[in-house]
Amino acid sequence: MKKENSTQLYGVKEIARRADVSLATVDRVIHKRPGVSAKTRDKINKIIKELDYQPNLLARQLASGKTWRIATLIPKVSTETAYWEAPLNGIQQAETEIRQFGIKIEKYFFDQNDKASFVKQSELILKSGVDGILLAPSFIEESIRFTGICQQQKIPYVFINSDIPDRDSLCYIGPHLYRSGYLAGHLVSYLVTAQSKVLVLNISREIEYNHHIRRKEEGFRTYFKDNGRNNEIITVEIRNADHSAVKKSLAPLLEKHPDIGVIFVTNSKVAVVANYLETIGKGNVLLIGYDFIEDNITCLKNGSVDFLICQKPQEQGYRGVMTLYQHLAMGATPEKVYHMPIDILTRENYAFYKN
């Protein structure tokens, strides 16, 4: 006779058979409803423990009729960058999977270059009385203020894409920003001679508030310092991600420093740099940037971008919503940090990558 595996998941029917009671009695015990004697309840609970039975939490939730409302607050997709389309796709994927279980997703968007729009949307969320929040914290002070109120009101929140240290978030899902920059430094170290200069480009209208850019640059520079590489690293900050702004900043710089061998763009704006370099015949300068979006992939395919560092933004959006759902509906406690892999793409392997 085959030995019974005590860790196997048994159904309610098996519990009822062993306890010699009706299915309704087992259901009352599982859902902690009255109408069962203490002796029978103890007997059933003992069998449940022996069988390691896991009740169907989804069925329980459906029966309860409870609706959980989750707000998502991320930058809106714009002509400046299509990056946020990927996390939004992940959010929508999760929404499709869990809406049948009483989960409602309410989407809010802000302009990544406008703090006021972030504040306005965060205030709307707080007034709406949601049960949980998925947040991409682009502005530090405003995000700290917002999450502080969330903590006071006991609203769980999950960070994606970038983290804010010392905040009591339910979870952070995204890249290790410092290690991402450190890896970029390691990659660049193979591409430059001892005499070559390295250019770091931070492209954002609100650079001083985009801490994820600063953390990447910090990791990048630290790699060179840790490994005794004395290449001169020049940092340039560009406030607009259009051709004219890039031209205005880079034209005099490249003329002054013709020995720049590699350019590292700390976010997804690498394509506009690649296109400018092509127009001035500087396509031989090695170029590294971030994110698996259409313009960047085009530049990777034609060779004007050499490497893309990618960190699965669609999965970040998906996991963020699912983490809140599992916490709210099932009482699950997630790990405090879930770091995305740091992937390096080239024109040889990009076709096999999934965001």
Residues 97 and 87: their CA atoms lie apart, in Å, by 16
Task: Please indicate, yes or no, whether residues 289 and 190 belong to a single structural domain of this protein.
Answer: yes
204 within some domain: yes
Residues 24 and 12: their CA atoms lie apart, in Å, by 9
Task: Please indicate, yes or no, whether residues 227 and 277 belong to a single structural domain of this protein.
Answer: yes
What number is the average pLDDT over the span 235-262?
A: 92
17 within some domain: yes
Per-residue pLDDT at 65: 67
Q: Is 84 helix (H, G, I), strand (E, B) or coil?
A: coil
7 within some domain: no
Task: Please indicate, yes or no, whether residues 215 and 305 belong to a single structural domain of this protein.
Answer: yes
Residues 204 and 144: their CA atoms lie apart, in Å, by 21
Which CATH number is 233's domain given? Answer: 3.40.50.2300
Task: Please indicate, yes or no, whether residues 169 and 267 belong to a single structural domain of this protein.
Answer: no
Q: State the pTM of this model.
A: 0.80
Task: Please indicate, yes or no, whether residues 198 and 280 belong to a single structural domain of this protein.
Answer: yes
235 within some domain: yes
Q: Which of 184-188, 222-226, 279-283, 335-339 has the lowest mean pLDDT?
A: 279-283
Closest CA to 234 of 285, 295, 278, 276: 285
Task: Please indicate, yes or no, whether residues 50 and 98 belong to a single structural domain of this protein.
Answer: no
What number is the average pLDDT over the span 23-51?
A: 86
What's the CA dihedral at 127, 129, 130, 135 to 10 degrees? 30
Task: Please indicate, yes or no, whether residues 296 and 318 belong to a single structural domain of this protein.
Answer: no
Task: Please indicate, yes or no, whether residues 154 and 234 belong to a single structural domain of this protein.
Answer: no
Domain around 113: 66-174+313-340
More confident residue, 257 or 16: 257
User: Given the DSSP bridges, would you call strands 103-110 and 68-75 parallel, antiparallel or unpaired?
Assistant: parallel
Token reading at 301: 């395919």
60 within some domain: no
Task: Please indicate, yes or no, whether residues 324 and 287 belong to a single structural domain of this protein.
Answer: no
Task: Please indicate, yes or no, whether residues 154 and 276 belong to a single structural domain of this protein.
Answer: no
What does the DSSP assignment read for 7-19?
TSPP-HHHHHHHH
User: Residue 9: is its pLDDT beyond 50?
Assistant: no
In the chain, where does DSSP find H-type helix?
12-19, 23-30, 38-51, 57-64, 85-98, 115-128, 140-152, 177-189, 211-226, 243-256, 270-279, 294-302, 313-330
Task: Please indicate, yes or no, whether residues 112 and 181 belong to a single structural domain of this protein.
Answer: no
pLDDT > 70: percent of the chain: 91
Residues 282 and 259: their CA atoms lie apart, in Å, by 12
Per-residue pLDDT at 8: 39
85 within some domain: yes
User: Residue 1: is its pLDDT beyond 60?
Assistant: no
Which CATH number is 36's domain given? Answer: 1.10.260.40
Q: What is the pLDDT of residues 194-227, one digit of tens each?
A: 899 999 999 987 766 677 888 999 999 999 999 9
Task: Please indicate, yes or no, whether residues 141 and 206 belong to a single structural domain of this protein.
Answer: no
120 within some domain: yes
Q: Is 178 helix (H, G, I), strand (E, B) or coil?
A: helix
Number of neighbours of residue 69 by Cβ within 10 angstroms:
16
Q: What is the pLDDT of residues 103-147, one digit of tens each?
A: 999 999 999 888 899 999 999 999 999 999 999 998 889 999 999
Closest CA to 106 of 76, 156, 70, 132: 70
Structurally, the chain folds into a number of domains equal to 3
What number is the average pLDDT over the span 57-83?
A: 78
140 within some domain: yes
What number is the average pLDDT over the span 22-44?
A: 87
Q: What is the pLDDT of residues 261-316, one digit of tens each?
A: 999 999 999 999 999 999 999 878 999 999 999 999 999 999 999 999 999 999 99
In 238-333, where does DSSP find H-type helix?
243-256, 270-279, 294-302, 313-330
